[in-house]
Amino acid sequence: MTTNTPDTANDNKWIGKRTIRPDGADKVTGRAAYAADTTMPGMIWGKVLRSPHPHARIKSIDTSKAEVHPGVKAVMTAKDIVNFPIEKSVMLGIQDMRWMCRNVMAREKALFAGHPVAAVAATTEKIAAEACKLIVVEYEVLPFVIDVEEAMKPEAPILHDFIRFKDKPSNIAGTLEHRLGDIGEGFAKADIVIERSFRTQPVHQGYIEPHACLVSVSDGKATVWSSSQGQFMVRAMCAYLTGLPQNDIRAIPAEIGGGFGGKTIIYLEPLALILAKKSGRPVKMTMSRAEVFHASGPTSGSYSTVKLGATRDGKLVAAQGTFCLQAGALPGSPIRGAAGCAFAPYDIPNVHSFGYDVVSNRSKVAAYRAPGAPIGAYAVECVMDEVAEALKMDPLDFRLKNAAKQGTKAAHGPVYPRIGFVETIEEARKHAHYTTPLPKAGKGMLYGRGVASGFWFNAGGESSAQVNINEDGTVVVITGHPDIGGSRAATANITAELLGIDYKKVSVLIGDTSVIGFSNLTGGSRVTYASAMVVTQSTERVITQLRERAAKIWKIDPDAVVWENGEARPAGDNAGKFEPLSLGQIAAQASATGGPIGAGQQLNTMGAEGGFATHVCDVEVDPDLGIVRVLRYTAVQDVGRAIHPSYVEGQIQGGAAQGIGWALSEEYIFNKDGKLDNPSFLDYRMPVSSDLPMLDSVILEIPNPKHPQGVRGVGEVPLVPPLAAISNAVYDALGRRFYSLPMSPPKVLATMDMAAE
């Protein structure tokens, strides 16, 4: 159910329409080609040998037995990968190649159980696996640390001797600070001050498609088929890590089975490339689900402390937050999202927000949907609930009273333009969900309701598009972004709208690195936003050409031609009397009027303004079993403009579902040897569909003034509020607050029993 479906009764024919997704039929019939679906003649299989130890110095690696094993075609170690010395940072986006080269294959040390130490390519998967066992690695096993609080202690085992904090060896690899006003003065004015600490566990993005690739190298040129959140990222990282120039690598994006940020980096592609180069054969590599869990990046576990101060009339006067995030084996945890987004929804004059990036012996963190922001919002929004309660204020009224608006200066820097945060709270407050009373406790069950809000930066960045008019008047649009959230359908809606033609006449394709210009990652909720900009500008240039062609046919001035409803028409009576020319008619005469019609645009897009959401959640708690079930869930979000509402709802629902898993059941569990104990979907408990109620999404459209269609990013905000919304609901049901996630049944029961004693 969707309430408040955006008003499509405006002039738009396609923008805002629930057009049929172009990838749908292929996906439901199993024809869509994902990364593991491509094969080649002569193809062989690569396998990775992984460290069994969470922390060990690699003293030697002897691959000689594996190399002579029948069927083995190539063996590689870190020696085959370009080394980026510790002294000099080389950045690609947010990734530092010093860390990437050590992440794809352990160099000096194995830093987590599952860290690759060597790889083999052989004629069958089985032989490759056998050969891995023949590689002799001599380890000096070292003490390890996984938990973020433990890793920050002075006596903790140190992962990297090159990391120093306050002049001492440390696991604190970096910090980030936002300051606004003076919190000392602010807290002095507060009538109510509440400070709490919170813990979250690492959680995985849980994409259904494991990492996979096929790489072929011939005549020194490599072709990479893989599923990722950016073929240009794949190309650039492979170039860095193998030393090939970018023009010798062609990265072809496969259909992608989910990424959620986790496929903004690579694991297998450079290994397969090196193995392919060494063996002269195409090499395919796939991860098992267990490998995905052990060795790809979940997001950080965290330890946060948040302190809020408010005056008796309900105005926030000061806020302080410390967010310690587990980076995994190498630096780079999303402290910017945690410390930057945490207080962003509110107009608070005095703010101090501080983030610690902490390395520890688990796999290197990868982006996960609004990286870091859910962690920060969890702590802040739970304390908001406590402050509202102490003030005897409705939690939504309290948020409304402090909501950021146009002109508010945020602690992370910007002064907001027109934003829609207030509207999300007002909408939630009057929504039937919020005005309907909870079920009465009974049959042993308890009920509670919670609310929370959230913010995500959103992103612009580089995008390229090409719009070509075919000879028959149909249209092909090529963009450079893998489509994860429906960007092909959204792009087709926009192109059809601008050209004034039927949606079915527009095909949108994703170009590989050799056919379209540089396009940055599908991430940061940026693709529909940025694609819309380059596609709009390309299409506008095409329309200019179409007008010129009609003018040429009519022998009048192009300025005297307008483009309306898919046709060229004389601008007025003065222009002369001509029958309109359709796109098809102009296309048919293209050769005679100047050649093929088409245009491209490449931009570094700006103006992706932040997104806000407010969520309401009802839970049912079985206090004797400790089971929390979400009964009703409503997510209200300002999306700027919903180009394709079904996809927008899908994003909102998906984010809420992942948040429910994070809050209630998902966690990395490490055994006493530092190895992940639950590397499967059986024991890493993502919610299944029967665990979830219908997730209701309310789309608000407060257009982004800096975008041609008013688009704001959509995909990440929905994962920001759920952790706190659910925690607050559980408190409402049980009268006890939980300060750590997940609120799994044993934890809930233990807390209840403690309370009873």
Partner 1 sequence: MDIQYVAPRTLDEAVRAFAAAAGAGRILAGGTDLLVQMRNGVVAPGTIVDIKKIGELTSIEETKDGGFRVGAAVSGAVLREHAKLSKVWPGVVEATNLIGSTQVQGRATPGGNLCNGSPAGDSVPAMVAAGAIVTIQGPNGRREMPVEKVPKGPGRLNLEPGEIVVSFTLPPRGKGSSDAYLRMIPRTEMDIAVVGCGVSLTMDGGTCTAARVGLGAVAPTVLLVEEAAKALIGSKLDDAALAKAAAACSAACRPIDDKRGTIAYRTKVAGVLLKRTTLIAAERAGGK
What residue ranges bind partner 1 (CB under 8 A)?
Answer: 624-627, 629, 665, 669, 677-678, 682-683, 685, 687-688, 690-691, 744-746, 749-750, 753
Closest to partner 1 by CB, 20 or 750 = 750
Residue 64: CB partners within 8 Å, gap ≥ 6? none
Closest to partner 1 by CB, 528 or 665 = 665
Taking the complex as a whole, the smallest distance from the CB of residue 686 to partner 1 amounts, in Å, to 9
Taking the complex as a whole, the smallest distance from the CB of residue 755 to partner 1 amounts, in Å, to 14
Q: Which residues, listed in sequence order, are joined to residue 447 by a DSSP beta bridge? A: 620
Taking the complex as a whole, the smallest distance from the CB of residue 203 to partner 1 amounts, in Å, to 15
Closest to partner 1 by CB, 327 or 743 = 743
Closest to partner 1 by CB, 437 or 746 = 746
- Pairing between β-strand 249-253 and β-strand 2-3 as defined by DSSP bridges: unpaired
Cα 486 from Cα 21, distance rounded (Å): 7
Taking the complex as a whole, the smallest distance from the CB of residue 682 to partner 1 amounts, in Å, to 7
Is 307:195 a contact under the CB 8 Å cutoff?
yes
Is 378:385 a contact under the CB 8 Å cutoff?
no
Taking the complex as a whole, the smallest distance from the CB of residue 691 to partner 1 amounts, in Å, to 5
Residue 555: CB partners within 8 Å, gap ≥ 6? none
Backbone angles phi, psi at 727, to 5 degrees: -60, -45
Closest to partner 1 by CB, 288 or 436 = 288
Closest to partner 1 by CB, 346 or 670 = 670
Quick one: DSSP state of residue 281?
S
Residue in 554, 583, 585, 584 with CA at minimum distance from that of residue 570: 554
Is 290:58 a contact under the CB 8 Å cutoff?
no
3-state secondary structure of 225: strand
Quick one: DSSP state of residue 443?
T
Taking the complex as a whole, the smallest distance from the CB of residue 742 to partner 1 amounts, in Å, to 9
Tokens (6 digits) for 34 = 């994902």
Taking the complex as a whole, the smallest distance from the CB of residue 631 to partner 1 amounts, in Å, to 13
Taking the complex as a whole, the smallest distance from the CB of residue 275 to partner 1 amounts, in Å, to 23
Closest to partner 1 by CB, 86 or 627 = 627
Cα 558 from Cα 486, distance rounded (Å): 36
Quick one: DSSP state of residue 522?
S
Closest to partner 1 by CB, 88 or 443 = 443
Is 338:355 a contact under the CB 8 Å cutoff?
yes
Closest to partner 1 by CB, 418 or 629 = 629
Cα 621 from Cα 493, distance rounded (Å): 44
Cα 519 from Cα 516, distance rounded (Å): 8
Is 339:376 a contact under the CB 8 Å cutoff?
yes
Is 610:736 a contact under the CB 8 Å cutoff?
no
Cα 156 from Cα 207, distance rounded (Å): 33
Taking the complex as a whole, the smallest distance from the CB of residue 744 to partner 1 amounts, in Å, to 6
Q: In which order are the strands placed within the sheet that holds 2-3? A: 2-3, 695-700, 627-638, 611-622, 446-456
Taking the complex as a whole, the smallest distance from the CB of residue 622 to partner 1 amounts, in Å, to 9
Taking the complex as a whole, the smallest distance from the CB of residue 424 to partner 1 amounts, in Å, to 30
Residue in 531, 643, 639, 540 with CA at minimum distance from that of residue 15: 643
Q: Between helices 373-390 and 395-402, what is the axis angle to 10°?
A: 110
Taking the complex as a whole, the smallest distance from the CB of residue 629 to partner 1 amounts, in Å, to 8
Closest to partner 1 by CB, 61 or 113 = 113
Closest to partner 1 by CB, 11 or 757 = 757
Chain centroid to CA 108 = 31
Closest to partner 1 by CB, 460 or 679 = 679
If 0-12 CB within 10 Å is exposed, 13-18 middle and 19+ buried, where does residue 242 land?
buried
Whether a cis peptide bond, with omega within 30° of 0, leads into 742 is yes
Taking the complex as a whole, the smallest distance from the CB of residue 687 to partner 1 amounts, in Å, to 7
Taking the complex as a whole, the smallest distance from the CB of residue 11 to partner 1 amounts, in Å, to 45
- Establish how many alpha carbons lie within 13 A of residue 275's alpha carbon, considering only the half-sphere containing its beta carbon: 33
Angle at 648 between CA 646 and CA 649, to 5 degrees: 65
Closest to partner 1 by CB, 83 or 671 = 671
Closest to partner 1 by CB, 69 or 307 = 69
Taking the complex as a whole, the smallest distance from the CB of residue 676 to partner 1 amounts, in Å, to 10
Taking the complex as a whole, the smallest distance from the CB of residue 689 to partner 1 amounts, in Å, to 9
Tokens (6 digits) for 240 = 């860095």
Is 321:352 a contact under the CB 8 Å cutoff?
yes
Tokens (6 digits) for 215 = 């790489």
- H-state helical runs in 412-557: 421-430, 432-435, 487-499, 527-554
Closest to partner 1 by CB, 82 or 749 = 749
Closest to partner 1 by CB, 529 or 684 = 684
Taking the complex as a whole, the smallest distance from the CB of residue 678 to partner 1 amounts, in Å, to 5
Residue in 327, 308, 326 with CA at minimum distance from that of residue 318: 308
Cα 455 from Cα 227, distance rounded (Å): 29
Closest to partner 1 by CB, 195 or 624 = 624
If 0-12 CB within 10 Å is exposed, 13-18 middle and 19+ buried, where does residue 174 land?
middle
- Pairing between β-strand 597-605 and β-strand 461-469 as defined by DSSP bridges: antiparallel
